[in-house]
Copies of this chain bind each other. A is one copy, B any other.
């Protein structure tokens, strides 16, 4: 079968942006088309990953608006929402559009505009995706993260510092990403001394609230060389859900959605965890980087934290994780994040990651929705 190729990518500056979702999406879309030297009227399908433009700014119909603004009409459009994994879901939707033969040129744009809301308002919009019974009790995603981190540290006898080291590493990587929200190194002490948000997690264990957008352009591999000397292929992809009520899970330190989507992606690619050379994981909370490392087979259950002292996941380590800076320092504009993860891996595959470049021909992205309620894992390879 003809594989699905990625021939262009872009991301806007992430952070506090004084423009609306409309401008954010257009900017990423136009830069992505420029990157691949493709005209807007060549687009056949246009997917927009966006969780909540209606709730955040009262604007619906953003895919149509985007098609209009960039001159892509009559391209078919659709909005993909899978909460915080909307971006990964968009990658999967774009993959299916090409693999099914429905489109030969698909533009995916993910974006969210959030910072005009207060932290409390944004947290409430995000919490609306939890189970109604959990929402009613005031459970938010940060509170789940706090409880899970406490359980993890206790069960696996892991030091609190190991979580801080995730934040330190990802902040360090973000310094070299000009589009990251934060380009600021921090140290373990700063992370450990920051204000408590959901005990034992503190401010620096959390990603910020962010505005931003990212885009990718997909074609069948058989025509990829017409557009690009260097390109990447998505060789494996899968998605899976876990219980929507978090307390129904047997072990809160295991994210079944990560395990299941990872197995699906590995099987499709004919690869295993040992073949992955760089990965972008969904570090919305520091603890999630450990859960994904374990769920994807990069570490034994309960042992991911040990890799922090070994430096395994540093940019110059054996398996660099979140070379982009991760959600932690790059920021987390909900619908954009999964797309931006794939943008980073694409840039690593085609040698365009600049100072963040690592030596890798196979990369992985893991995008987590809710608190592991839905997960999409994708494997990208540099074209031979």
Interface residues of A (CB under 8 A from B): 1, 22, 51-52, 54-55, 58-61, 63-65, 67-69, 72-83, 89, 92-93, 95-97, 99-102, 125-126, 128-132, 238-245, 256-257, 260-261, 369-370, 373-374, 376
Contacts and interface: CB of A to CB of B under 8 A. Distances in A.
A355 B256 CA distance: 47
Closest A-B pairs by Cβ, 10 of them: A61-B129, A68-B244, A76-B239, A99-B100, A60-B129, A100-B100, A79-B81, A60-B128, A96-B100, A74-B240
A79 B76 contact: no
Contacts of A99: 100-102
A374 B76 contact: yes
B100 A61 contact: no
Contact of A55 (B54, B83, B92, B245): B54
A12 to B, nearest CB: 20
Contact of A244 (B65, B78, B129): B65
B61 A128 contact: yes
B83 A60 contact: yes
Contacts of A59: 128, 132
Contacts of A54: 52, 54-55, 125, 128
B244 A64 contact: yes
Given A76-B241, A79-B81, A374-B63, A93 B95 contact: no
A67 B260 contact: no
18 contacts: A1-B101, A52-B54, A54-B54, A61-B130, A61-B370, A64-B370, A68-B241, A68-B243, A74-B240, A76-B238, A76-B241, A78-B82, A78-B92, A78-B239, A79-B80, A93-B93, A99-B101, A100-B100
Contacts of A101: 1, 99
Contacts of A132: 22, 59, 65
